[in-house]
Each structure stands twice: as structure tokens, then as C-alpha cells.
Amino acid sequence: MPAPLLLTPGPLTTTRTVKEAMLRDYGSRDGEFIAINTRMRARLAELVDAAGTHVAVPVQGSGTFAVEAMIGTLVPRTGRLLVLVNGAYGTRMVRIAEVAGRSVTSIETAENVPVSPAALDAALAADPDVTHVAVVQCETTAGLLNPVDEVARVTARHGRRLLIDAMSSFGALPLSRAAVPFEAVAASSNKCLQGAPGFGFVIVDRDALAAAAGNAHALTLDLHDQWRGFETNAQWRFTPPTHVIAAFGQALAEHEAEGGVEGRGRRYAANCRVLVDGMRALGFETLLPDAVQAPIIVTFRMPADPAFAFDRFYDGLRDRGFVIYPGKLTVADSFRMGCIGDLGPAHMSAALDAVKATLSAMGVASGRP
């Protein structure tokens, strides 16, 4: 039985060639390995049109480590962070700032409502102490697309700096420094860029990073120090996840061959269309209206049929070769299905067949909530 396909927001299904790139052991000072790192750092800045102004600094760990490094390094100890929260990842940034001992405040909207640029405008006018604003581009909690361009314009108009968690959208949804002025953007190896999990990265304004020496609250999460290391000898300060980086070099080449952000985004959008149309035909309802649904992960309301049990549904899909994700919402009982990874519309159709077969085995007539 082949490994099941992951309809999850990461780790996700990777290509065979990405996995094969991990079959070689590199020494951390190996010239070829260093070249992979140098190319990777340049390419990541290019992907957000920031090659001239920003530098990409990778950091060991999962995506949250990169977000924590971004906040801890860039928000000064005397600064104040305002987080726009509409899900678990916004809430996590508030927590990160608290743990780092930074002054923090937030504006919350429900998990199915985009963050509000107008509320941000009013809050910044009322609170001159706020130095930085943080926002999540695609809030993976519900799969919602936030209006980062308007948030960036409001933040810039007030002369504050913007930090973006683009973890689940980087490489698939457009994000350009030209349209969305940001101080830093954080993402990771294993979401839309389709690498293996193991490190995150932050693309940071070079001047802001240069000014952030000694600011970080943790040695391992000090982006300034990590950057100085790369600038000095092109190497990581501490043991790099060599296999994961080799896989990521391959993943970036495959991303470029697919047509970069546009090509990848087009495939994910096609996946999302097939999934949403097919699930609606089975009676399921999406939590979000199409206008704010990002083509990354879709939240479905739990069916009302008493014969439906999520654990049996999950197991039935797993037995048929697909792994889905439980909901993470407080506003509604739900489950989620991802559209990202090495999957195409034909895989999504096959997943819909598995949903149909599982519902029928459970004796559920409709997915209607």
C-alpha cells in the first residue's frame, strides 16, 4: 500500500525527487552545500521582489521558530507590537511577544472574518507607542486570506513597520515588497515551497537587521547573529539540517520549473476549485465565503446527520489513501482539507471519490451541516 496523500497544511506530500535529494550526506562546510545555501537565500528574497533591500536568513526548527526569531530580533525591547488576530497563528504571535517580554496588544476579529485595516488605522492613530504591526497572510486556522496589502498601506502611512507570517502562503500567493511594504516576512521549508520540514526563514530589511544587533532574547533565535554568520563565511552558526536544505534546493528548482509563484498558485487554485465544488455537490458547506477563501486549506462544517462520526470519517479516508485534518476553530465544529503539496486536480477528484465511499459506508446520506 503506497503512503497516503496528505491533504493537510504541512508537512505535506513532496515529490519523489525532493525526497531523493536527501539521500546524500553533506558536510556543513562542503562547497556544494554552501552553494545550495547561497542560491536558496538569494532566490527567497527574489520571490518577494526584495533582492535589493532585504536578506533571507534561515533558522533551524519549524515555522514557529522563524516567527519567534522575527519578533524577538526585530521588535526592540523598548518597542511595542500590535498583532491583528483572527486565528491560532495570530494568537501565537501575541504569546511569542509575551514570552519574549515585549509590550504587545492585539485587535481580534472572528476566525471567519478578515482582519480590519480600518480598525488598525484607528488603533495606530490612538497608540503612538506601537512600533510594529504583525499580520498572518493566510490564517491557516480557517484557511482565510487576510488583506495584507491594505494592512501594509495603513501601517506605512502611520510610519510603523510590518511583520508578516506568510507561512502557509509563501510561494503560492503573490506577495511583493513593491505592493506590500514590509520589514520582514517569515515562512518555512515545508509548506507551499514543498520541501521537507526542518527549517524556517525570515526575509528582512537589511538596514533593520543591521540595527537589531543585541536585541534578540535568545541566542539560537538571533537573526542578526545568524545573518552575520552567513555574511562572514556563508555558513550556519550551528549544525544545519543538511538533508532538509538539500531537499529544499531541489524543491526551489521544481517551484521555478512550475512557473514560480504564479504557476504554483494556479495549480493550488485548480485543486481548491475541484475540492470545494465536489464537496458542495455532496452537501458539505464551507465555513468561508469564496471571496475570502485562500486556495490553501478549506474548512468544512461538520455534517448534521447523526450517522456521521468524525473519527470514522477520518479513518475511512485514511484507509482509502487520504489524510485530512481536524478543525482548529472556536466558531464552529469543523474539519479541514488541504489543497497544497505535490497534488493535482486528479488527486482531489480521487479524494472526493473516497469521501463519497466513506459517507456511504457510514450510512450518511448528505454532508449538510
Ligand X SMILES: *Cc1c(COP(=O)(O)O)cnc(C)c1O
Shortest distance in whole angstroms from residue 355 CB to ligand X: 23
Shortest distance in whole angstroms from residue 284 CB to ligand X: 22
DSSP state of 340: -
106 makes contact with ligand X (CB under 6 A): no
Closer CB to ligand X, 28 or 62, in the complex:
62
Shortest distance in whole angstroms from residue 341 CB to ligand X: 13
CA atoms within a 13 Å half-sphere pointing along the CA-CB vector of 364: 25
Closer CB to ligand X, 135 or 354, in the complex:
135
188 makes contact with ligand X (CB under 6 A): yes
Q: Let me know: does 107 contact 93? Beta carbons within 8 Å.
A: no
Pick the binder of ligand X from 28, 62, 106, 235 (CB under 6 A): 62
114 makes contact with ligand X (CB under 6 A): no
Q: For the segment 75-104, give every residue that binds ligand X (CB under 6 A).
A: 89
64 makes contact with ligand X (CB under 6 A): yes
60 makes contact with ligand X (CB under 6 A): no
List the grid coordinates of 263.
504557476
Pick the binder of ligand X from 5, 6, 8, 10 (CB under 6 A): 10
Shortest distance in whole angstroms from residue 67 CB to ligand X: 6
Q: Which long-range contacts (CB under 8 A, 24 or more apart) does 233-239 make?
A: 234/34, 234/37, 234/38, 235/28, 235/29, 235/34, 235/37, 236/28, 236/37, 236/58, 236/60, 238/60, 239/28, 239/60
189 makes contact with ligand X (CB under 6 A): no
Range in contact with ligand X (rule: CB under 6 A) among 40-48, 75-83, 165-173, 312-320: 165-173
Who contacts 174 (Cβ-Cβ below 8 Å, separation ≥6)? 261, 262, 265
CA-CA distance, 349 to 352, in Å (whole number)?
A: 5
Closest CA to 189 of 63, 5, 14, 56: 63
Shortest distance in whole angstroms from residue 258 CB to ligand X: 21
Q: What does R_g of the chain's alpha carbons equal in angstroms?
A: 21
Pick the binder of ligand X from 68, 111, 165, 205 (CB under 6 A): 165
For ligand X (CB under 6 A), the number of binding residues is 13
CA-CA distance, 11 to 208, in Å (whole number)?
A: 31
Distances (CA, A) of 191 to 124, 260, 272, 282, 348: 32, 14, 16, 28, 18
Pick the binder of ligand X from 136, 164, 275, 348 (CB under 6 A): 136
The backbone torsions φ and ψ at residue 137, rounded to the nearest 5 degrees and listed phi first, read -70, -60
Range in contact with ligand X (rule: CB under 6 A) among 39-47, 162-170, 331-339, 341-349: 162-170
Residues in touch with ligand X (CB under 6 A): 9-10, 62-64, 67, 89, 136, 140, 165, 167-168, 188
